[in-house]
Structure 1
């Protein structure tokens, strides 16, 4: 199966979700690395097992599945000649107990799950090993009664420990040691019983110094009288260690003796874990077991996209009996792509042995190939456009498609000139159909609806749209063609029917005179529209009567003057003749507007409230103006300098 197609359909997301229902890491990994199967008999067996597992969890949610952690590692350790530690034996014991409980559990479910329950028969009786380990362990350690020899050794060891303690306490009470004691008590240091002696009396007592106090004032001495007793205790400790290791070796050997049985039990436990994970996932999404057919038929009964949950709009369709190609048209975000992905993803799930969220009448064909092109696989490395990348993918699909192939293409022919894209889409669909593929394609090209009229085996479909709410309903309508709903939306928002009819004519649509009746429009809205239209017509009539308007330049605008393209600055104007006074190289000239072209507007050259006298007036003029603005000076006259 094409891995790019699996990715585009979010197949791995589904597997990851199913894996969360598994108990063991091994089962999680098995589910995460699953792939669709292609043999109908095998797939039916998987689906039947999942269905039986589903029936079991509906009556009993607690399944005795062991985690299997480290079981294989323990066997490898034993095969190397290393005995298992008591904690490891405890884990093996737990596994054997789960096998026994699982056996009992499944034998009780034969009536509701005959095939699944019988798998447990492959787990052999391992009660002897279970009983041997259970009888040898107590609180995670080797029990005293694991062997008679160990029980005897430990009994003598406890007696010897009591004898040492009694002897040490007697020494502590003796008059011989009394003068040298720091405290009259026996202190255990480094697993040895000692007497606390004042440092200055170290030479007065015989024995081995074991430790000193933090201040150094006290030393802890093991009296010489205890040395022989400790040697005897050490001998017993060594004997105990040897006997414990012998028991551990014996138990480990008993585990190796049933190695093949353990591997079989782990495989069965693992198989059950995968089955029940699939069943629990199916239960979580309210799924069913789909039927499988050999008629190249896709029959979806109120199917839902599993990743959309309760938000998914049920999808029902039947494809493959009379029609092998479905062409879906409709608006953007109307659900075309989700429909495409739902068909592909549910097909993959069924061929992986998964329950699917759909009705009980759902039936799917087992395809050997599934190709998807949804337009999100553009190759940056190849430096191709979106159209080129998608076309390359579709050409590859055409090369290897046959009658066992399901092809799903989203927005076929998009990304290029509409006419050329439509033509390419047309011949691609024809070729895919000729090669026997089952096809579901979405498109904006309403011209492709003609395929259903001119080619047997093609079926039109569209995504429903609610013109009242201006929202897509995400429902697939078979046998109908859709469009972008632009005209419906425009009408609902108040665009006049006359304009919509004209737009339909330009678009090449047949105008339905009753589709957008003026009587359906609110009368207030109609009057407002008619008034706007009348006003627009009057303004246009008046404008035709006027002479050509003189272009407006503002003071300070930078203009070019033809024919020599000299640069000047507008000083004032225009007058009734359309002349402006323009300053060129410090001199002012009267120039008609027809010779002027705006170069840079004043707003881009000067700040607001800029004093243009700086540009157009002499220094003497500005000084005189400044004086006259302050006070009247007799005989002082301001020359306009034009």
Structure 2
């Protein structure tokens, strides 16, 4: 499976969340190593097991999965001759007890969970080892009865400790007047008396230590030195006997190395299985149908990282069409749709139940190829055009008839004409290879291509025309429409202007024999966000409102998704008509006025005149908020100023930034120190 596709669909976040439900080191390793599979038989078994496990924990008691505490090191040391400690054997006992509980639990569930309970049949109770450990070690200590020699040694130790205690009590009484404190201390495992330093000569014995202040010396009286020597020797003998017991138990444990490994592996498999089941419960996930024919049918699907915050997605592909083109407003859910379909597919192929309703179906793909901007989660920006092309190249390297291809924002980041052509060519190539393709776009040409091409289908993300808000619902079978006119009308553009806009969109506009094109990205002569609304303040408010809408709805940012005319380029003959000849210019063309909308044929763009013709015949033209100087011979009148603006309209609203207009207004009223207006240098064409 394509690693980049997994990253772009945020598969790692699914694994991180699943990891939280695992309790053992082996279960967590299974999660870490989890990858999508392509065998339908294996996947059918895995999904049914998870569904069965989910029912067990949903309707039954807690499943006694051993934690495997301390077992990882034990398993790694078995067979190496290592002598295990009392603590190690306590971990073994706890593990074997838990294994026995798990085996009994699964045996009791064989009728209602036949698949899940089968694994426990391969486990081993290891009763002999468990019994031996329990006989020799209790409460973390080797017991006296673990061996005859150990029992004898500990009895002798008890006798000597009793003698020593009696002798020390007698000495404490004898030297009580010269003791620094009335209590025994130990140094290096030997009992000592805390004698005041000035009286040390009164005690017959050896100084083993002294206090930090030097006021106290810790002395071992001669009367107890022999007893303590004997006791030290006996305790060394005890340690040797304990080690013998541990060595015997370690040797016995090594005989069960295979059983340990089987049990640990089975516990890890159970832990992984029930981690998936617990995750499925948390997601409200269901089992699904599988096929290998490219058919995907989702009923009320949700992105697992969004859960109930997401509007459920109903989706299908693979029967009547294998390629789906989705259009709709920005932030309307197109990218989320791609990521939901892609991530749920990967999860299903990883043996995970997914948040969909009963009856949902997934196809098994050998590969998933994704072009969603690097690092782009649901809320981040789109990739650049170069990154898009690089991703497409990678996609073409791996795509076949068992590949799911997800492409976000086709034709973005470059010239719309070229981008559209390239995008359609890519879609055609993917269709030839038999891939299942889901793509999103803003462009009419691509959805028009999908509407007339067999094997393709359009879909759109729905939009509330009353609230101007996206609804995040996918409607298959319909192409998305632009809401530019609706938004403009609600923001205050006069109804008659909206009607005129619709007329131009439907029939085009021509002046004489000159061809006209309608452009996207607010390239029309009258921009929605700067058209007059009675006075400057109203216009400024209009701009503010539109800027808000721009971020919410693609219709305001891509107004020509509905308005772009069928004419996409001007042929040579039309260009000659649109561009007056040098000789005819003085007779046919009157001087351009500031505010005239002109068509620049060699750019294929319209602009607004902001500066009158100079001595060289160059005219100042603003195109997409950028100012240029272009020779009058290279442009033709598109719409006269009087048709666009009222006679008393302040053209600064069109040519100046909002900030500069405010500054100019302040400067006209009074002098403001430090206040200045900056203008950009005009580019020469």
TM-score (norm 2): 0.70
User: 1:517-596 counterparts in 2 under 5 A?
Assistant: none
Contact 1:75 1:256 (C-alpha < 8 Å) held by counterparts: no
Q: Check the 8 A contact 1:468/1:492 in 2, yes or no.
A: no
Q: How does 1:240-319 map to 2 (within 5 A)?
A: 240-319=238-317
Partner Cα distance (1:172, 1:608) in 2: 101
Which one of the candidate residues 219, 225, 228 is aligned to 2:226? 228
| Correspondence for 2:590 | none
Q: Which residue of 1 aligns with 2:430?
A: 432
Deviation at 1:96, TM superposition (A): 1.4
* Alignment RMSD: 3.1
Q: Does 1:131 align with 2:131?
A: yes
Give 5+ residue unaligned stretches, structure 1: 379-384, 512-528, 533-547, 550-561, 563-600, 611-642
Q: Does 1:477 align with 2:475?
A: yes
> Structure 1 residue aligned with 2:501, among 492, 500, 503?
503
Match of 2:562 in 1: none
Q: Check conservation: 1:169, 1:186, Cα contact below 8 A.
A: no
Cα distance in 1, alignment partners of residues 162 and 173 from structure 2 = 17
Q: Residues 78 and 84 of structure 1 are in contact (CA less than 8 Å); yes or no, is this contact kept in structure 2?
A: no
Once the two structures are TM-superposed, the CA of residue 146 in structure 1 deviates from its matched residue by 2.5
TM-fit CA distance, 1:321? 1.1
Query: What's the offset of the Cα at 1:311?
Result: 1.1
**Per-residue deviation, residues 202-231 of structure 1 (Å, max 9, x unmatched):** 556543333445665654443333233223
**Is the contact made by 2:462 and 2:470 (CA closer than 8 Å) also made in structure 1?**
yes
Asked whether 1:359 is paired with 2:357, we answer yes
Range with bigger deviation, 195-204 or 273-282: 195-204
Instruction: Give, in angstroms, the shift of residue 184 of structure 1.
Output: 10
Counterpart Cα distance in 2 of 1:243 and 1:82? 17
What's 2:13 paired with?
Answer: 13
In the alignment of these two chains, the number of paired residues is: 517
2:646 corresponds to: none
- Seen in structure 2, the aligned counterparts of structure 1 residues 215 and 452 have a Cα distance that, compared at 3 Å, is closer
8 Å CA contact 2:161, 2:231 repeated in 1:
yes
CA distance in 2, matches of 1:63, 1:209: 61
* Partners of 1:287 and 1:355 within 8 A in 2: yes
**Residue 189 (1) aligns with residue 186 (2):** yes
1:423 maps to what in 2? 421
Aligned match of 2:101: 101
Is the contact between residue 5 and residue 370 of structure 1 (CA under 8 Å) also seen in structure 2? yes
Contact 2:136 2:142 in 1 (8 A): yes
Whole-angstrom CA distance in 2 between matches of 1:76 and 1:183: 53
The answer as to whether partners of 1:462 and 1:477 remain within 8 angstroms in 2 is yes
Pair 107,216 (structure 1): closer, same or farther in 2 beyond 3 Å: same
Q: Which runs of 5+ in 2 are unaligned?
A: 377-382, 510-531, 536-592, 595-614, 616-663, 674-685
Distance in 2 of aligned mates of 1:330 and 1:119: 49
CA shift at 1:141, angstroms?
A: 1.9
> Which 10-residue stretch deviates more, 98-107 or 469-478?
98-107
1:263-286 CA-to-partner distances (Å, cap 9, x unmatched) read 111100111111111111110010
Residue 25 of structure 2 aligns with which residue? Answer: 25
Between the aligned partners of 1:461 and 1:366, the Cα distance in structure 2 is: 23
Contact 1:285/1:309, CA 8 A, preserved across alignment: yes
Q: Distance in 2 between matches of 1:358 and 1:215?
A: 76
TM-score by length of 1: 0.74
- Contact 2:321 2:455 survives alignment (8 Å): yes
Larger radius of gyration between Structure 1 and Structure 2: 1
Between 325-334 and 223-232, report the one with greater CA deviation. Answer: 223-232
Q: Which residue of 2 aligns with 1:144?
A: 144
After superposition, the Cα gap between the structure-2 partners of 1:336 and 1:157, relative to the gap in structure 1 and judged at 3 Å, is same
